[in-house]
Each structure stands twice: as C-alpha cells, then as structure tokens.
Amino acid sequence: MYNPTNPYKMKRIRCPKCDEPIVFDKTRYEDGQVLVFECPACHHQFRIKIRAKKKNEDAATEEQETEKTALGTLIILENAFQLSQELPLYEGNNVIGRHVRGTKANCPIKTVDPSIDTTHCVINVKTDRSTGKSIFSITDGPSGTGTFLHNNILGVRERALLEDGDIITIGASTLILRLPETE
C-alpha cells in the first residue's frame, strides 16, 4: 500500500464501479503504458493509461505531497458493518463520515452503517507554535446519533481535546486515536 518513505512514487486511483481506492507504484511503468487493474473489493476489471506529467506540474504535485504529513491515525475496529481501517489525520479539519460518492468527508469510513452520517464529526489538528506539538480536538458534525468520547456524548458545539489512545464512538463504530511516538 502506501510507502511513507517515498510518497510521490505511489499513485492512487479509484475503481469506477465501487470507488475503492487502489494504490500502485507509478515509477515501475513507462509513460503511455496501459495497465489493467482488478478491484479487490468488487472484482471489476478496468484499464488506465499512464500519462506523462509536465515538469512544472510534477514539481507542484511533489511539493503538495511533501507538505501533507500524517500527524496521527484513526484506527476503526472491525464490526458487523465494516472491516478494520486506518485513516491518516492531517493538519486542519479532518471531516469523519460514511463513505459515499461525492461525500464532503475528507476522512471517509467505508461502512454500510446507516447510523454514521456522511459528515458525522470533525477532528481538528493544529500545531502549538510554542511547543511544536500537535493538538487534536473533536466536535460533533452535527450528526443524527451523536459522537461519543469515552462513552460521554459531546454536546452541540462542544469541543473536546484528544490524546493518544482515546476511544471515539460514532454509530456502531469504535475509533481509536493513535499518535506517533515522540522522542
């Protein structure tokens, strides 16, 4: 899957039938080459053609990719509605919600759980200028079923600070916040 040591070598595409993300190493193929993929989720086969990027476009893409560094991870535990997943959290607002085509959630959960809204909650990540540490906070979307932090429901417009290992419940899903180890 994703190679954090060299992120610009990896290319992410989506299955045209079920929207499943597929990641591959684009440096292993030549410009103009046609690749055939089979979606691991729905087994739909489709083709893509590797296009050459212009030099300035390639440099801009690499610059954008190096700017985005995951500051934490949400681990979604497997249950009757979904398989286990890991979602990277970036600086700014990470909108958590059910994955559907055209969702506004930039951190979507692949689930069939109807009790998770398409924009269920928001985890905000910002960096404290004095210490350089990341500060994580959560607010409800607002959602129809609420957002729970350690079995306590968040009120309307309530913001709660998060720490490593905090347990968040949305719908029937349990999420665990994991932060990188600090030296």
* Model confidence pLDDT, tens digit, residues 65-103: 445 788 999 999 999 888 899 999 999 999 999 988 877
Based on the domain organization, do 84 and 155 belong to the same domain? yes
Provide the β-strand partners of residue 175: 76, 168
Does this model's pTM top 0.75? no
pLDDT at 114 over 50: yes
The per-residue pLDDT of the chain, averaged, comes to 84
- The arithmetic mean of pLDDT across residues 113-129, rounded, is 93
Overall number of domains in the chain: 2
- Among 67, 90, 112, give the residue marking a domain's end: 67
Share of the chain above pLDDT 90, in %: 47
Based on the domain organization, do 171 and 114 belong to the same domain? yes
**Residue 152 token pair:** 């306590």
- Among 22, 51, 67, give the residue marking a domain's end: 67
Alpha-carbon gap, residue 40 to 110, rounded angstroms: 14
Lowest model confidence (mean pLDDT) among 21-35, 87-101, 164-178: 21-35
- Are the CB atoms for 109 and 103 separated by under 8 Å? no
Q: Which comes out higher in pLDDT, residue 61 or 87?
A: 87
pLDDT at 64 over 60: no
Domain membership flag for residue 1: no
Question: Which pLDDT band, with edges at 50, 70 and 90, does 3 fall under?
Answer: very low
Based on the domain organization, do 157 and 136 belong to the same domain? yes
- Residue 22: domain span: 7-67
Domain membership flag for residue 183: no
Based on the domain organization, do 59 and 99 belong to the same domain? no
Query: Exposed/middle/buried for 117, CB within 10 Å: 0-12, 13-18, 19+?
Result: buried
Based on the domain organization, do 62 and 78 belong to the same domain? no
Based on the domain organization, do 142 and 93 belong to the same domain? yes
Question: Which pLDDT band, with edges at 50, 70 and 90, does 109 fall under?
Answer: very high
- Are the CB atoms for 111 and 173 separated by under 8 Å? yes
| Eight-class DSSP state of 72 | E
Based on the domain organization, do 57 and 89 belong to the same domain? no
Based on the domain organization, do 49 and 93 belong to the same domain? no
pLDDT at 124 over 90: yes
Q: Please state the length of the chain.
A: 183
- Among 31, 46, 67, give the residue marking a domain's end: 67
Domain membership flag for residue 89: yes
